[in-house]
Chain A
Amino acid sequence: MDATSPRFPANVREAFSDSQLQRALSKVPSGFIKKRADARDRLPEFDALRDQARDIKNHTLAHLDLYLERYVDKVEAAGGKVHFCTSADEARATIIDLCKSFDARTVTKGKSMIGEEIDINEALEGAGITPVETDLGEYIIQLRHERPSHIIAPAVHLNKDQVEADFRRVHSHLPPDRVLDEGSSLVNEARQVLREKYIAADVGITGANFLIAETGTSIIVTNEGNGDLTQTLPKAHIVLATIEKLVPTLEDVATILRVLARSATGQEFSSYTTLSTGPRREGDPDGPGEYHVVILDNGRSGMLGTDFQHMLRCIRCGACLNHCPVYQAIGGHAYGWVYPGPMGSVLTPSLIGIDKAGHLPNASTFCGRCEEVCPMRIPLPSMMRHWREREFERHLTPQTVRWGLGVWSFFAKRPALYRLVTGIGARVLSNMAGQRGRLRSVPMAGGWTRHRDLPAPAGKTFMAQWKARAK
């Protein structure tokens, strides 16, 4: 996917002029945020579990090679196969080859952000294979030829009436006078349409929330049960995951699952937690004939041992998006690539380069709410600051900003000179404001005064007054 992150300011303007988007975003605070807070309050050990979850992932990342090896052994022992891919290209080619080996014409898909990262749907279509998204949100945006705007609620940027219009347009074989004004009627219709697709599919592709080294198991959590049908009905199940999904044991997963759904949707547990270990065995009533796991790196191993390693703890709950006032204002698409919100502002520069994604770690007030709610205690603001440091070192920070900072720091390092300049500044601004106490416009401060007045200084600085008082 071509990142539009370099055009972030234009994307932001577009987001503010999109009234449907703004209407949809207004529901985020009362929904996800309240539900998470309630779930946290109901579990006294919630914060202690966050510490444990963090420690589990830190331990895994410190021994990632070991756990990957053990995982591969276990998958193979269960009759499955693991394919390591370093790049998106390689992952796409591997999946297409696998699908062709099954003569696949239709592929059903569970929700997968890695699928978005490698543009798997376009690749499948290019190979003459039809991908069908089975997660309701993903299904909706597939109909609209859009991208997810949220990592767990892909269609959160849409309103019910928009979805109803899409369903009437696309499901033209259904009676036009049917009633579709309830969320539940939309869900039922999607289920009915998708049911036939599951049966026709040759391959099912899902993501993975976790890969368990101890057992060679992949886990997905869903609320619709679509993942189960996607992976059990077709001839083959392909799991698409990245290296940081590894967790040592089933018990470790049980710990992390206790914070995942609570942080994401405020549920104690997702409706479906599905564990898959290898293909169908003799005597199994159902299951895929073949089981493949594509493990993608795509730049992640380069984050190990750096300031950004913390980010590899992320379990994609979406809490940082939900609680971010910037995300709440502009939605997910404005960020311009696969991962929006605070986690995206840290991850995206790692994966596509800070030269392209520079706006993202800058578009934060460092309010710290993301870190406050992160179940894995990822220090998101610190890492956004690290990205700003990388930008500064590489001279990617805009020249005007560098120049302004240089002038300011010249004075800030020289207290006596600084006194002189701030004294003059305070007097000039105070005189400009006169009796009004504020300024409607100030030369070179348009960023401020476009939207708000500038409160005027009193006239004399504190330091000058203090000195006079002390005499």
Chain B
Amino acid sequence: MSTTAPRVGLFVTCLVDMMRPSVGFAAVKLLEQAGCVVEVPEAQTCCGQPAYNTGDRKTTADLALGVIAAFEPYDYVVAPSGSCGGMIAKHYPLLFDEGTPERRRAEAVAARTHELISFLTDVMGVAAVEAAYEGKVTYHDSCSGLREMQVKAQPRRLLQSIKGLELVEMGEPEICCGFGGTFCVKYPDISNDMVDKKVSDAEATGAGLLLAGDLGCLMNMAGKLKRRGSALQARHVAEVLAGDLSAPALAEGEE
């Protein structure tokens, strides 16, 4: 590790900010353990995907410029999400015409943007975590993380460094859970069919905990599991890796 610690701007993501702050704190802990200085720029809100995927390019570009300005000062931009990370890393540059200053700025930030877990392993060289967990877990490959950010082996490798944790694979870990942002409310019946198949696959593993790297997928799967009355719990992978399970699992009560 270099003598000067890298300065990481944490892109919290709108879902973690509002729905599950524990993931943000787990991310901070993991990044600090890896030797990063973590800052959380005040000016961030959302990466803009709701607008982007509804076809509103103008609003998307406006939001992107806000994010770019907020994160330009950092060595790295890290998000506890393959989806939001992918948006910044892969899609932001495409919002601006080639040759424009905006395009250059977007490309510069995009090149320094990472999904949390792959950042820890691929950039910071983290090979193991200090957490403890007793029991079987299964891991869902969120689509953007998998296909845009090439997150596949990294979370599994870190999970397997946890003593007592047994990772069991689903039949189809790479198939979409049916969240898809606004898709899940625009086409609820299709989304329901997809999430139903997904959680059945997860339940069949016999794991007690379902993990993923994206909160959208997790809220979808956890919401479905609870509606089905399942005992299978769901958490963001960062919470387990950080060894902080103090918040109840998603959609679980305090009782």
Contacts and interface: CB of A to CB of B under 8 A. Distances in A.
Nearest to A29: B172
Interface stretch (B11-19, B110-118, B130-138, B202-210): B11-19
Contacts of B184: 447-448
Contacts of A158: none
A272 interface: no
Interface string A434-453: 11111010000101101111
Grouping DSSP codes into helix (H, G, I), strand (E, B) and loop, the B interface class, with mixed when no group exceeds half, is: helix
A153 interface: no
Contacts of B227: 440, 451-453
Nearest to B46: A412
10 contacts: A326-B194, A329-B194, A362-B187, A365-B178, A365-B179, A366-B183, A367-B147, A389-B56, A437-B254, A451-B188
Interface centre among B18, B48, B56, B143 (most CB of A within 10 A): B18
Nearest to A455: B251
B193 interface: yes
Contact of A447 (B62, B188, B194): B188
Contacts of B183: 362-366
Interface residues of A, number: 65
A431 interface: no
Given A365-B191, A412-B46, 9 more contacts: A363-B190, A365-B178, A367-B180, A369-B143, A422-B17, A455-B19, A458-B20, A458-B22, A458-B247
A422 B63 CA distance: 17
A372 B226 CA distance: 32
B54 A401 contact: yes
A451 B22 CA distance: 26
A280 B219 CA distance: 65
User: Which 10 A-B residue pairs are closest in the complex by CB-CB distance?
Assistant: A365-B180, A447-B185, A388-B55, A452-B223, A392-B55, A367-B176, A462-B21, A455-B251, A451-B192, A437-B253
A405 B181 CA distance: 13
Interface centre among A13, A437, A458, A461 (most CB of B within 10 A): A437
A405 B43 CA distance: 20
A176 B179 CA distance: 50
A365 B198 CA distance: 14
Nearest to B52: A385
B59 interface: yes
B49 to A, nearest CB: 9
A9 B252 CA distance: 32
A409 B63 contact: yes
B55 A389 contact: yes
Interface string A366-399: 1111011000000000000101111111000100
Given A365-B143, A405-B56, A455-B219, A436 B253 contact: yes
A405 B255 CA distance: 37
A383 to B, nearest CB: 12
Contacts of A325: 175-176, 178, 194
A6 to B, nearest CB: 15
Nearest to A362: B186
A465 B174 CA distance: 34
B45 interface: yes
Nearest to B250: A455
Contacts of A401: 54, 182, 186
B24 interface: yes
A359 to B, nearest CB: 8
Interface in B203-255: 218-220, 222-224, 226-227, 247-248, 250-255
Interface of B: 12, 14, 16-22, 24-25, 40, 42-46, 48, 50-57, 59, 62-63, 66, 143-144, 147-148, 172, 174-176, 178-195, 218-220, 222-224, 226-227, 247-248, 250-255
B187 A9 contact: yes
B37 to A, nearest CB: 13
Nearest to A409: B59
Nearest to B224: A452
Contacts of B48: 412
Interface string A182-218: 0000000000000000000000000000000000000
A365 B252 CA distance: 26
B251 A456 contact: yes
A281 interface: no
Nearest to A451: B192
A210 to B, nearest CB: 30
Contacts of A72: none
Given A16-B193, A326-B190, A438-B226, A415 B44 contact: yes
Interface centre among A412, A436, A462 (most CB of B within 10 A): A462
Contact of A454 (B44, B193, B219): B219
A465 B21 contact: yes
Nearest to A389: B55
A412 B62 CA distance: 10
Given A437-B254, A438-B226, A413 B12 contact: no
B141 to A, nearest CB: 10
Contacts of A329: 190, 193-194
Contacts of A426: 18-19
Contacts of B12: 462-463
